[in-house]
Amino acid sequence: MSAAKDYFIAMTEFHFMNPQTMSEIGYYPGMAKWWNSVDGVVRAWSGRDLSGEWPHPIASELIKYMDLAGVDVAFCLREPMMDITGGVVSLSTNGFMMQQIEPYPERMYLEGNVGPVIKRGLDHAIWEMEYLVKEKGMRICKLYTPEDDGAINDKRLWPFFEKAIELDIPITVHTGTSYVCPQPGSKCEVRQLDDVMLAFPELKLIAYHAGWPDTELLIGLCGKHQNLYMSLSGIIGWYQRAPYRGYHAIGTALQWMPSTKIVLGFDLPFDDLPRVVNYIADLDMPEELQKNWGFQQLTKEDKANILGLNLARLTKIDPVKRNIAK
């Protein structure tokens, strides 16, 4: 039996898509290209392609798998991708996300995305971020630069980071490769985080997808910068399918930083939730890796930090078990 039930579990990056919007834009050529890209990601992270049955990416489906996996809190995030339609529409909005999570207070929280920040205009993006924090209780905000007009370290984003510090909310950011068309990888390189953290050492920044394929570079930067965190979002699915890949990434990370610097994210089909939660809850570092690579065995405290305590601290939510339906 998995040990997941023994931990408070909180995760970011649960994407919802608006079914009405999706039904309206299927004829755009960019949609087929985007889905083909997504197919490549889920093959690696989930071990299947898009031809099978998938849970609908809406809140009423997510809650079923949260209860099944013992997940207490989900931070739920719009899927933007406006470049697919040449700027016509995003796949979901912050407003849609708030409507979706409203029936699940204390279980689902908004992870806002007010971008593309530069392309949209700093004034508009900063206004919405401040509004969502002060009027709607948003506790964390995503920066997704692959579809924007500048990279993570573009100085036009400096006012956005300054506002996040003022509002005292962490920023999650896509790092590593850009997984989908038509978005270039040059706008989300791990090394760009160094410039941001040097300019804004007080900024709490959570780097998604362990920065793959530059995970070791991200680990080094997390060791360098006090407020830079590594998220296992998305790639945790790959780690569970190829456990030694995960052992090496997590084991290396814990040689450079304490377990208080690693957070759990999702960005996977909802029915993958139990397996990835159990991967961390039940993680047993093989003796050969402890001996030959110097990796430490994860303690129960380490697992508790990764599974939810770190995110609870960053977002100022109460880290207690919710009343999960049986």
pLDDT 10s digits, 255-278: 999 999 999 999 999 999 999 999
Range of the structural domain that residue 263 is part of: 4-315
Contact 184, 151 (CB under 8 A): no
CA–CA dist 11, 128 (Å, integer): 23
The tens digit of pLDDT for each residue in 112-169 reads: 999 999 999 999 999 999 999 999 999 999 999 999 999 999 999 999 999 999 999 9
CA–CA dist 235, 154 (Å, integer): 26
Residue 183 has pLDDT above 60, yes or no: yes
Contact 219, 262 (CB under 8 A): no
The answer to the question of residue 72 being in a domain is yes
CATH number for the domain that contains residue 25:
3.20.20.140
Among 272, 309, 276, 278, smallest CA distance to 65 is for 272
Total domain count, the chain: 1
The answer to the question of residue 322 being in a domain is no
Please provide residue 261's backbone torsions phi and psi, each rounded to the nearest 5 degrees.
-105, 5
Contact 19, 96 (CB under 8 A): no
The answer to the question of residue 323 being in a domain is no
The answer to the question of residue 320 being in a domain is no
CA–CA dist 84, 22 (Å, integer): 12
**Distance between the two ends of the chain, CA-based, in angstroms?**
16
CA–CA dist 170, 187 (Å, integer): 20
The tens digit of pLDDT for each residue in 39-52 reads: 999 999 999 988 88
**Secondary structure element (H or E) that encloses residue 16, with its range:** strand 10-16
pLDDT of the residue at 303: 98
Residue 280 has pLDDT above 80, yes or no: yes
The answer to the question of residue 80 being in a domain is yes
Among 28, 17, 25, smallest CA distance to 54 is for 17
Say whether the peptide bond before residue 57 is cis (omega within 30 degrees of 0): no
Count of C-beta atoms within a 10 Å radius of residue 247: 21
